[in-house]
Amino acid sequence: MTNHTPSPWRLEPAEVGGRVMACDDRATIVHVPPGNPMNPEVYADARLISAAPDLLEACRAFLAYHDADGESDVEMMLNYADAVEAAKAAIRKATGEPS
């Protein structure tokens, strides 16, 4: 399987259109189409795309917690807390909520 462009990704809205960029500026992930300036649905889609790597990492964190075997209760609770925070941050990014 091919790896995706490394995260984090960010949305760069423009007056008309925009793009989702890798934060190292080495790759454009997707262009937000011009012609619908400030279309809320288009920008919501772009926010969701920009949050995709964060959402993937949050899912992986929950699976790590779920699959933890033989760890102490404290380690499991720390893994769970990390997974919850990763999920909350990814959801905020995907929905455009403030951090």
Mean pLDDT per segment of 10 residues, for the chain of length 99 residues? 80 77 83 68 84 90 78 78 90 86
Give the pLDDT of residue 16.
Answer: 67
| Domains of the chain by residue range | 9-95
Cα distance between residue 11 and residue 97, in whole Å: 14
Give the pLDDT of residue 91.
Answer: 92
Model-level pTM? Answer: 0.74
- Token pair for 87: 């999920």
Give the pLDDT of residue 21.
Answer: 84
